Chain A
Amino acid sequence: MDGSNDLQKVAYYPGCALEGTGHAYNRSTKAVGKSLGLELVELENWNCCGAMEVKNVDPKVQTYLSARNLSIAEDMGFDKVMAPCNGCYHNLKKAEYDLANDPKSVEVNERISAKAGHDAYKPGKVETIHALDWIKKAVGEEELEKRVKNSLKGIKVANYYGCMYTRPRHIFPEKDKGPGSESTAKPHFMDDILAAAGAENVEFPLKTACCGGAHSLSDSDMSTKLVLNIIETAEACGAEVIATECPTCHTGLEMHQVRAEKVLGRKTNVKILYFTQLLGMALGLSASKVGVQENLSDSRAFLKEKGLG
């Protein structure tokens, strides 16, 4: 990415989660984009990226499912598609990598595409970006600072990126390229964006640690313990808010925060908010406009106290 104007209008792949439990992320992402003068054009007739379920059954079919979304973006005339969900972002990136490097993936993609009656996606046509890339590169911190109406000053934030935003490193060739690029070891794009909005980011050593999302159904207790540790660590770092950028991580943190209190008797107070909700309120949008009322973690009183929403 070069930070040029081609990011002002990008294809938008919300993915399944943003139509369900992550609806507040969908709402706040669109609201922030609009507020910043950026345009999102949703992919027509998009499908599931394959998530974890299809990947476990047949990873090549998952590659096809993600590739089909890239193909739709290309057909709509876009060379960039923005996926705010870490799982979708990861899977589209992985499909791009596999189609460029794995002949078997190419073969399966061509076969299923032919059966489905559309051209098979060829790698290199569409770049997948995350919501963090989009806002940081299309607007940048300097411009964000100018647009802030309600500074997040005084709000201590632990930025939690989850484990899929940076892994595996080889599917993210644009990261770790020095100044200006994202780091896979210590990601900072969310920190940069929220700092520009006035937030005080705390040192947080579990930024990319596993939240046990994949364990949620098979071993809920393990997920609860992992999430509780993330939340308690954030609190130990002085955070009042954990900012998220993935609907799966976000829901996991919220759900297991409640469960930790019920099952383990461990109450925590940190609020869990999408970074787009924090940014949106800093840009002057109301709490309801960015979907705060849709979160499980009720932060309305806290936000009011901080002069937001």
Chain B
Amino acid sequence: MTLQAPLDLDGAIALADAVAASAASDAAPLDSAKQLLGAGEVVLEAWVEAAGNVPTEEEVEGYRLLALHRQGAKGNPSFNACRETCRELVYLRNVVEMSLSEGDLAQARHHLMLEAHVLRHLGLFVGGKLHESGLGDFCCSSRPLHSADSTITN
């Protein structure tokens, strides 16, 4: 699968949907697996940037995704609810690579499909957190609407 790198959170979810739908016949599963991991970074960048911080370029255990998660969870322990989701994303990307090295294309494609599902979950979770915290797109629960000096009639 050849796809453009997603530019935002919605793009990451769209990529997850596309890969999940086509994983069974993906001609280059490792390329797609790497794209999904990169899309996971885009999702976490959105969270870090919404909190007013600059996304780290560092790595934890060899992966920027895990460093971004650590950065995003700093001072916000509830963000740890997606810690294992991020680790699964890394794990599945590695299983895709390992399966290919063992010549098992079917297993590689299966795990690519699972990786896409996990990325979709990360995107939905972070999207929900952005709304809940009033950091994302406008929604009925966004912070300004409920602040003391801002009412719905203003």
Contact = CB atoms under 8 A, between A and B. Distances in A.
Interface in B88-141: 88, 91-92, 113-114, 117-118, 120-121, 124-125, 127-128, 131-132, 139, 141
A222 B82 CA distance: 15
A150 interface: no
Contact of B124 (A185, A218, A225, A237): A225
A212 B121 contact: no
Given A205-B92, A233-B114, A237-B114, A168 B121 contact: no
Contacts, number: 69
Contacts of A168: 77, 80
Contact of B141 (A205, A207, A218, A226): A218
Interface in A72-101: none
A83 B48 CA distance: 36
B77 A236 contact: no
A163 interface: yes
Nearest to A170: B77
Interface string A229-241: 1101100110000
Contacts of B82: 209-210
Interface residues of B, number: 25
Nearest to B128: A222
A222 B136 CA distance: 13
Interface in A153-181: 163, 167-168
A215 interface: yes
A89 to B, nearest CB: 16
Interface of B: 20, 77, 80-82, 84-85, 87-88, 91-92, 113-114, 117-118, 120-121, 124-125, 127-128, 131-132, 139, 141
23 contacts: A168-B77, A185-B87, A206-B88, A206-B117, A209-B84, A209-B118, A209-B121, A209-B125, A210-B81, A212-B124, A215-B132, A218-B132, A218-B141, A219-B128, A222-B124, A222-B127, A222-B131, A225-B124, A226-B125, A230-B121, A236-B114, A236-B117, A237-B114
